[in-house]
A and B are shown apart, each in its own frame.
Chain A
Amino acid sequence: MTFLLIFLSFLPPNDVIARDRPNDAGSTISLHWNLSVDDSLLDGYVILKRELSAGEMDFEKIGSTVRGVTNFEDENAQDGVQYEYVVAAVKNNEVFHSAPSVPVASSPQVFHTGRINVLAAIAIFTGMLAYFVTKARSGKGLFIRKIAGLAAVEEAVGRATEMGKPILYVPGLGDIDWTATIASMNILGEVAKKIARYDTALIVPNRWSVTYTVAKEVVKEAFISEGSPEKFREEYVRYVTEAQFGFAAAITGIMMRDKPATNFFIGRFWAESLIMAETGSQAGSFQIAGTDSVLQLPFFVTACDYTLIGEELYAASAYLSREPLLLGSLKAQDYGKLIVLLILLSFTFISFFNINLLPILRVQ
């Protein structure tokens, strides 16, 4: 049998289609072919190409695959140059060439069509945000549900004033490119305004140089806007160190020695969360935490008096300031979640009628 096969000829693969790979930075051509009818007897396939403009140049081998494979990507094409491709079946050093493909050239794309869904999501959400913010501008009172941790902020500041002890505000350990840090800066502004009305010292330690500069602006402006710039002290906002646990060590030091009446932990946190929260609890401070770091939430919940969970952190500046524009954006967030819920439920429901909508959610 083997003896016979060697002298038999095999059919090559057919319908070799070459096309520019979509949505890429160029220089790649995707090939697809139909398997040779003798596929199961073959060793595999080799892929050959040649430049069309180079005249009668020979085809050059550029790669190979095992049998049963129907596609290949030539990632070394030169953009704008026309190529022809041939796929050949291989058996014992003998090759059986297919007809050449239609010539094709690769090119980089300027729009990624596989990401239309992300674009649509951004457009819809931006539209909703713009709508609700504009609507809010007209000043109609918007409802916001009670958030226990925020209702306690006033009490926390008052308590510190009574005790004559400072307030410690840790704006998280994330740099300014974490949106949680930006949310924390907004809350810091509101807290600082309340502090400016009382006579309480404030300590804002920072891990990042950029957040330090922002925090300083925010606190200073809060004191100015409350009409008591003279109460602002340069030492309120401090830079500590970028080292995560060096920062945590310094904070525990402040907690044990300055004995703050209230500690705020608001922003992005990592493992150091419990070091700070547990030390603060042992020092007897009243503690309010807020973070979107899912993994640190259990520790704050365990060791702090109040904790803003996840998105509550992002609702906080609207809640505290009651500014219509911010409340409007909260409404947009709610509608965003509503759409997500409807997608989850409807896609699940429809899928049982054999309509699979999941590809809509897929991003390339």
Chain B
Amino acid sequence: MKRKIPLALCFIMGISMIVQFFIPHPASLEFSSVIYKWIIVLMAFALVLAIGNLIRHHGNKIHRRKEDWQYSIVTLAGMVAMATIGLAWGIDPDSLYQRIYLNVMAPLGGTMFALLAYYMASAAYRSFRARSLEATLLLLSAFIVMIGFMPFGQYLHPRFPAFAEWIMKVPNMASQRGILLGVAFGSIATALKIILGIERSWLGGKE
């Protein structure tokens, strides 16, 4: 029973969602939208567990005075403060909650993202070496695209932008499509195995 009920539920849900795709009837659309609402509710419940884990992890660190424990206070305090502010004073566009979002979370996230400009430079410098035919092709196509998509590309040679575009649209598209088709089959097979109960690692182990 410990395995049969979850497996059966998984099977029923999977089959219903597949069948739903083939039924244009309004009842079928209604069904899919109700289920989606439930899924979101389930995520919210799981979040309670997850936050519990986070509190325990940082609480432990503070309690045992592990290295860098002071920063765990920052995490916990930040979380409690933000949650309280949002729940107590609302989330209107002018609320403190949105202000903190825009002036704390957004700059932190935006700057993390912006670090990528630097990392692209250092990664390219370190590993773009013409060691083999494959590596050389990778390097060359990167170069052509970097030149072609910049405004100065057309001054180097008027056909350069078109060439770069061609690389993106022909060989790049071909390889992406090939990879995608393969991925689709891997993905479909995995989904099918889940529904049919062949792949059951999510149940944990053998029994």
Residues of A at under 8 Å CB distance from B? 23-26, 108-112, 115, 118-119, 122, 125-126, 129-130, 133, 175-176, 179-180, 182-183, 185-186, 189, 206, 208-210, 212-214, 217-218, 220-222, 224-225, 234-235, 237-241, 243-246, 248-249, 257, 271-272, 274-275, 277-279, 281-282, 292, 294, 297-299, 301-303, 309-311, 313-315, 317, 325-326, 329-330, 332-333, 336-337, 340
Residues of chain B lying within 8 A (CB to CB) of residue A221: 204-206
B109 and A245: CB pair below 8 A?
A: yes
A209 and B123: CB pair below 8 A?
A: no
Residues of chain B lying within 8 A (CB to CB) of residue A249: 108, 112
- The answer to whether A314 and B120 touch (CB under 8 A), given A212-B46, A214-B202, A243-B105, is no
Q: Which of A111, A299, A329 contacts B123 (CB 8 A)?
A: A299
Q: Bound state CA distance, A212 and B49, in angstroms?
A: 9
Chain B binding site: helix, strand, loop or mixed by DSSP?
helix
- B89 CB-CB contact with A under 8 Å: no
B179 and A245: CB pair below 8 A?
A: no
Residues of chain A lying within 8 A (CB to CB) of residue B57: 235, 238
Q: Which of B23, B128, B191, B194 contacts A110 (CB 8 A)?
A: B23
Residues of chain B lying within 8 A (CB to CB) of residue A109: 23-25
Give the contact stretch, choosing among B92-100, B151-159, B163-171, B180-188.
Answer: B180-188
17 pairs, A vs B, C-beta closer than 8 Å? A24-B24, A109-B24, A110-B23, A112-B21, A209-B43, A210-B46, A212-B49, A238-B53, A239-B49, A245-B113, A249-B108, A271-B113, A274-B123, A275-B115, A278-B123, A301-B138, A310-B179
A126 and B192: CB pair below 8 A?
A: yes
Chain B proximity of A212: nearest CB distance (Å): 5
CB nearest neighbor in B for A313: B186
Q: Bound state CA distance, A213 and B193, in angstroms?
A: 20
Q: Bound state CA distance, A315 and B182, in angstroms?
A: 11
Residues of B at under 8 Å CB distance from A? 18, 21-26, 29, 42-43, 46-51, 53-54, 56-57, 60, 67-68, 105, 108-110, 112-113, 115-116, 119-120, 122-124, 126-128, 138, 176, 179-183, 185-194, 196, 198-199, 201-206
A302 and B183: CB pair below 8 A?
A: no
CB nearest neighbor in A for B199: A186
Residues of chain A lying within 8 A (CB to CB) of residue B190: 179, 182-183, 314
8 additional A-B residue pairs with CB within 8 Å, beyond A275-B115, A303-B127? A26-B25, A109-B23, A112-B23, A245-B108, A245-B109, A294-B179, A333-B185, A340-B185
Chain A proximity of B72: nearest CB distance (Å): 12
- The answer to whether A238 and B54 touch (CB under 8 A), given A125-B188, A212-B49, A274-B119, is yes
Residues of chain A lying within 8 A (CB to CB) of residue B18: 122
Residues of chain A lying within 8 A (CB to CB) of residue B113: 245, 271
- Residue of B24, B110, B199 contacting most chain A CB atoms (<10 Å): B24
A239 and B54: CB pair below 8 A?
A: yes
B21 and A115: CB pair below 8 A?
A: yes
- The answer to whether A25 and B24 touch (CB under 8 A), given A210-B42, A212-B49, is yes
Residues of chain B lying within 8 A (CB to CB) of residue A330: 189
Residues of chain B lying within 8 A (CB to CB) of residue A217: 202-204
The 7 closest A-B pairs by CB, nearest first: A314-B186, A221-B205, A221-B204, A209-B46, A311-B182, A239-B50, A209-B50
Chain B proximity of A1: nearest CB distance (Å): 51
Chain A proximity of B47: nearest CB distance (Å): 4
CB nearest neighbor in A for B68: A257
Q: Bound state CA distance, A235 and B43, in angstroms?
A: 22
Q: Bound state CA distance, A340 and B126, in angstroms?
A: 39
B112 and A294: CB pair below 8 A?
A: no
Q: Bound state CA distance, A208 and B50, in angstroms?
A: 8
Q: Bound state CA distance, A183 and B204, in angstroms?
A: 14
Q: Which of A179, A302, A337 contacts B191 (CB 8 A)?
A: A179
Residues of chain B lying within 8 A (CB to CB) of residue A248: 112
Q: Bound state CA distance, A180 and B176, in angstroms?
A: 17
